[in-house]
Amino acid sequence: MSCKVILAQSIAASYRDELKDTIKTRNICPKLVGFLANEDPAAAKYAEWTAKTCAETGIEFELRKCSRNELEDKIVEANQDVDVHGIMVYYPVFGDRQDQYLQNVVDVGKDVEGLHHKYVYNMYHNVRFLDEAKTKKCIIPCTPLGLVKVMEYIGIYNSILPYGNRLHGRVVTIINRSEIVGRPLAALLANDGAKVYSVDINGIQEFHRGVGLQLKKHEVCETTLKVEDVLPLSDVVITGVPSPAYKVPSHLIRDGATCINFSTFKNFDGEEIKKKAAIYVPAVGKVTVAMLERNLIRLYDYQNQDRAAKATSTA
């Protein structure tokens, strides 16, 4: 078999080394607070994994457990604490629109997950910076950002093309359209120039910036296409179906495609996919956590810049 299997650990390594070096050379200790307000064992495991990774990197991580009815007040406390540089919440909490509300309770300047409305709006409108001087990049949700970094690492992004257009000519299918990962990822990739087929149980949408990337930001079109129509066209297939029973039909994958799985379950048949794919990435979790830490360092710097600017203006 000619398929190259690439593990998340090898992709995350350079980012983690850079983070460790930054923290050590600058002698800083950013603090991340995670809130756990549910009984989900997967969330507890993720919190444990985050704590371990942060300790290795040199980041202070504190897990705060509370009831879901206390959570809003606890987030506000952390917002007001100058010693807390980043906040994350292990969702779902209520599992409905109240979770969306909580995402916006988190201070935009401490939102390491990039779920605040300001970041979400900017992402969908292809606004990449928070300021006119373009010194502060927007925070992007960790898993979609991690998947972008995976695609950069394996050469899907074409560095010869201008920044913002480096997926021009690529066709990507994403089997997941959740508001946390699938839809943001489709928007990010389309804004970078790809034609994206976004698949969920209700059908397939196409995200794109038009012929020759004439549009400034992506648009979304409904289609009547089926999975069997889009998989054979796709240079990249990304899956995130939260079910152990789901498997992508390997026979539909284009020969030489790149296949990436971000689900906690194996959405590809490991042996069958190696017969078709050129590159297979079975999981991305370690890259996601590296992006979480990277977002934290970025917010730490923004907070210090804001404090310095405020001190200068009042001097």
> Active-site residue numbers?
142
At 222 the three-state DSSP class reads: strand
Place of tokens 């950002």: 145
Whole-number Å distance between alpha carbons of 22 and 24: 6
For residue 62, the surrounding DSSP H or E stretch is strand 60-65
Whole-number Å distance between alpha carbons of 310 and 312: 5
Query: 218 CB contacts (<8 Å, ≥6 apart)?
Result: 124, 126, 187, 190, 191, 196, 207, 208, 209
Q: Are strands 203-208 and 195-200 parallel, antiparallel or unpaired?
A: antiparallel
- The closest alpha carbon to 205, from 237, 185, 232, 177, belongs to 177
Whole-number Å distance between alpha carbons of 93 and 68: 6
| Contact in structure between 219 and 239 (CB atoms under 8 Å) | no
Secondary structure, 3-state, 101-151? HHHHHCCCCCECCCCCHHHHHHHHCCCCECCCCCCCECCCCHHHHHHHHHH
